Each structure stands twice: as structure tokens, then as C-alpha cells.
Amino acid sequence: MFVMLFFGQLGAFAIWATAAWYLDAYGRRPLPCGDFDAIIVPGCAVRWDGLPSGALARRTRHGIALFKSGRAKRLVFTGGVGTHPPAEAEVAAEMARQAGVDPACIFVETQSSTTAQNAAWSAKVTHDAHLWSILVVSDGYHCWRCLKLFSRHFGAVATVGSSPPPRARIRGAMREVISILRMWIF
């Protein structure tokens, strides 16, 4: 009985780890070709001192670089106030302004607190979101879920992942498997 339980748990862990590996690999695919109507950066935590967390800073820098390379006409930041103010989108937008992005090209959505809300409420920055082609920039392991959620609201969706340090990638990918299961259940 103990042996069966052990191998059952080992099998479940192997499936979980394989799914996490797939999510991480999916997010490290090459950048899709073409230009987009907007680049969207989903929010992530703001630190206690009002500065972006490592993940938010990494995603935002990647989005800014893609915007500056001419991949889109607009840069949309999404995310409300989490544990610490200000809103995640405001912190990211300030990073973009400091990096020289024209404020007229920056759009912010400051009410959302989940990836599903990031997708739904970022679509409200325009009346024709269903026609937009967007590039969502997030952590690599988060790209698959972003593709599924943002596709509900935008015409064409592509994703590209930033690469966190190895420990954060592993931890994030393992946690992302649970988030996807919750998404399917609820």
C-alpha cells in the first residue's frame, strides 16, 4: 500500500514537473514576426518602497525594448494596487516614461488584480479591441495562460516571455501549473 502511494505521488509530481517544463519552454519561443497594434504588459507586484518587483521591472523593460524597436504603436500596462501602492500599471508606465517612451503612446489600466482581469480590462482602453493584434509580454512560464485569457478579448494575440533567473523560473512555472488548473476549474 505504501509503495503504491509513493509511486502515485511520484507520478503526480512527474506530471506536474513536465507541465511546468512545457510552460517554461513555451514562453522561451522566438519572438513572433510582424507588427502589432499594441504591446501589453500584465502587472506584477510592486515592492514595499513603491518600486517594481524584479518580475514587473523585467517584463516592463522587455515591453519597452520591443516598443522602441517599432513592433507596436501603443504600450499598454495593466495592474491595480496589490499589497503595496501605487498601482502596478502606474509603476510600469513611469518606467516607460523615464525610458523616453512618448506618454501619448502609453495606456494604463489600474483596476485589475488577476491575469483574467488584466486581459478583460486592458481591452477597455479601446472600443475596437476585438480587432487589435497584440503582443503580450510576461514571464515565459506565464505566456500560455496569457494567450488563452487575452484571446477572449482581442482579435489576434501573440506572447513573448522574459526570462527570470533559473530559481524564479522553476518556482514560477510550478506555481503556474496550479494557476492553469484553477483557470480550467473556475
Range of the domain at 107: 2-185
The whole-number pLDDT of residue 7 equals 67
Percentage of the chain beyond pLDDT 70 is 97
Quick one: pLDDT at residue 94?
A: 98
Alpha carbons 166 and 180: distance in angstroms, whole number? 21
Average pLDDT value for the chain? 91
Q: How confident is the model over 112-161, as pLDDT tens digits?
A: 999 999 999 999 988 899 999 999 999 999 999 999 999 999 999 999 99
**The overall pTM is greater than 0.85:** yes
Q: How far apart are CA 152 and CA 45, in angstroms?
A: 24
Confidence at 170, pLDDT banded by 50, 70, 90:
confident
pLDDT value, residue 158: 96
Question: In the structure, what pLDDT confidence band is assigned to residue 20 with cuts at 50, 70 and 90?
Answer: confident
Q: Find the CATH number of the domain harbouring 44.
A: 3.40.50.620
Domain count across the chain: 1
For 167, the 3-state DSSP assignment is helix
More confident residue, 179 or 56: 56
CB-based contacts of 80: which residues, under 8 Å, 6+ apart?
43, 87, 88, 89, 110, 111, 112, 113
Longest alpha-carbon distance in the chain = 65
Q: CA–CA separation, 21 vs 25, rounded Å?
A: 6
Q: Which residue has the cell 510582424?
A: 34
